[in-house]
Chain A
Amino acid sequence: MDYPLLVGIFPQVLLDGIILGFMYALIALGYTMVYGVLEFINFAHSEIFIVGAFVGVEILLSLKGAGLLETLPWPLVLVLILVAGMAGSAALAVSVERIAYRPLRAAPRLIPLISAIGVSFFLQDLIRLVESVWRNAFNLVYPTMDVLNERFELTSTLDVSVKSLVVIVAALLMLWALHAIVNRTKVGTAIRAVAEDQAAASLMGINVNRIISLTFLIGGAMGGAAGVLFGVQYGLINPYSGFIPGLKAFTAAVLGGIGNIPGAMVGGIVLGLLEAFAASYLSLLTGGAFGAEYKDIFAFSVLILILIFRPKGLLGEVVRERA
């Protein structure tokens, strides 16, 4: 076995894992917040996430078409697409809740879940339809800005691109902002109250419907931000590319204890790291017999194991069903 190689790639894999982990963490927040309030898996969140990426790419492409991409300062462009992506995803998340979930709130639990699966599928093809009419394309490439592709060599085995730094900084800012909103504002208190006990919260004069919409709005915005960062980092998106990251992010949310906001962040980063290491080391460790293509299986196995042995996740408490 090639030990120097194994050790040598370690820092790079660690960095990749952290970036991926932040991405998962941002998406996982949407799942976990909605679950916290409604006890419901918003299956369509993966599409809400990828819509953010599409809003971002559309803006970049129009800027490029107008020749503005090179002339505008790049931080401005980044902020612009980030805000627009968040707004787009948030608007979508709120509308989806209003149309497809709210009428089903009193129904048995499987009913809204099935509706959410329907929304997910519907949105995938809706995006595809819109893109095929509008751009006659399936895959879209994020136009690059030269600055973002510059790389710093930190050590002989580790270099960091500007865009990776941007992704990390932006993700950290988002997570901090969310933390502040949930824990330091009145709105955040209301969200936590609704998550704790809807009936009691409404007796305390909290407008539960508004808070639920708000939860979707915030979760959607986080997903949208993740979408834009996903596009910036990985470059290529298509209408179906939200699905697998969405599923992984859900795994991350479960890993951290679903409904638990810090849990989603921790779970995201843990899963990102696990996956990055699996992707890089599986092939090396098994002599090429099993390669990076098994990383999805690895992630799902993690999910299954967690659910069996610690169903409330790493940070969640175990709650029993009442007779």
Chain B
Amino acid sequence: MIHGVLAVAMVALSAWAVATFPRSVLVFLLFQGSLLFTYLARIPAWLRGALFAVALLVLMPVIGYYNGYYLEVATQVGIFVALALGLNIVVGLAGLLDLGYVAFFAVGAYTWAIFGSPQANLIFGGGAFPLAPGWFYPFLLVGLLVAAGTGLLLGLPVLRLHGDYLAIVTLGFGEVIRVLANNLDKPINITNGPKGITPIVRPPMPFGLPTSEAFYFLVLVIVAVVIVVNRRLEDSHIGRAWEAIREDQLAAQAMGVPLVRAKLLAFACGASFAGVMGVVFSAKQVFINPESFTFLESIGVLAMVILGGMGSIPGAVIGATVVTVLNLQVLKGLSLWLNELKNAGVTVLGYSLTDLPTQLEPAKYERMIFGVILILMMIFRPQGIFPVRRRARELER
């Protein structure tokens, strides 16, 4: 009871605080904290659902009205949640360490970028492109299929490999995709090389929503679908086969699990989530180039999955949120703060901060953050913040 009251109060209070102090990073973090509390609090499922619905469907867009950047953060979080959930299937459930996951995201993004911009004219000639904005929606499916197909194509030869070899090969594959994107501006200009592709057509906005709100809701819907799909897979013979492979692949095979087919399915499912989000990403950004799809991004998504807890759906959601918010807000906030101190000429222990090198910006040290997350989690809590809770099956009496 007290939990319910607290949860409602926290959500309401923090939402009000964000509306009042739309510039404060801390207050927005408080809002996110209240959602976490709602998730953890011992309250009836309907209340939890209602609070989430209100917070995500009503409060968040309203907050976004006051400060558009927060809506951008929320949308980014959503994109990474979907990526983390996709990688979670591959790494968390099936136990296949994929270090080139962002390649599938890239494939999806380029699928729409090429056809949703004049770029395709360079390939096919004529002036039929860009496609009309309405094509964006069918292309969500096209992006899904192309990414899944790429997953199968990569998976077929390499899924027989043992764990750590597989990791390196997927890493190599991720690099190959990036190098291709970087260099396929000749002999035929497919990707426009390092210059990237722009302008990419955005979808028509339903109900006349403003662009950022529309993308926020679009991402929200996709994330919801992804979560449902993830749960259904996990609670089926397919998900159980994946987990069995992770636990002991030889025994799994001896129990009748066709290894290669099951692993391919995991690869394709994970890839398809990334493909869909890639399409959304390219439309949202209007511009993409190979720099968005580096190894750093793959490791970032891996850090999200591991931070949250391998194989755990809530874990992937929270891991993605924490890492994205850390990147977009906390570190940027720190950088700004440091800059202000510098400009104010503050001295610490006799050392004038003005003398700090300009290159010292916390926001640019993502690698260090990801690195520390990975090392510390592996040593102290390999099961993650929200480890998989084995759901008890109801036994018939």
Question: Which residues on A are within 8 Å of B, measured CB to CB?
Answer: 40-41, 100, 103-104, 107, 109-115, 117-126, 128-129, 132-133, 136, 138, 243, 247, 250-251, 254, 289-291, 293-294, 296-297, 300-301, 303-304, 307-308, 311, 321, 323
Contacts and interface: CB of A to CB of B under 8 A. Distances in A.
Contacts of B171: 247
26 contacts: A40-B164, A100-B379, A103-B379, A109-B163, A109-B164, A112-B378, A113-B97, A113-B167, A115-B374, A118-B371, A121-B367, A121-B371, A123-B371, A129-B365, A129-B368, A132-B359, A254-B165, A291-B183, A293-B179, A294-B183, A296-B175, A307-B169, A311-B161, A311-B162, A311-B165, A321-B250
B172 A247 contact: yes
A300 B178 CA distance: 13
A133 B360 contact: yes
Interface of B: 95, 97, 99, 157-158, 160-165, 167-169, 171-173, 175-176, 179-180, 182-183, 186-187, 250, 295, 299, 302, 306, 356-360, 365-368, 370-375, 378-379, 382
A136 B358 contact: yes
Given A133-B357, A250-B168, A111 B368 contact: no
A125 B371 contact: yes
B91 to A, nearest CB: 8
Contacts of B372: 118, 122
B179 A118 contact: no
A117 B374 contact: yes
Nearest to A138: B359
Nearest to A250: B168
Contact of B368 (A103, A110, A126, A290): A126
Contacts, number: 138
A293 B373 CA distance: 33
Given A41-B164, A124-B367, A119 B375 contact: yes
Name the prevailing secondary structure of the A interface residues: helix
Contacts of B367: 121-122, 124-125
Given A125-B368, A293-B182, A100 B375 contact: yes
A108 to B, nearest CB: 9
User: Lowest 4 A-B CB distances belong to which pairs?
Assistant: A118-B374, A122-B371, A121-B371, A125-B368
A304 B158 contact: yes
Contacts of B176: 296-297, 300-301
Contacts of B157: 304, 308
Nearest to B303: A118
A83 to B, nearest CB: 29
A298 to B, nearest CB: 10
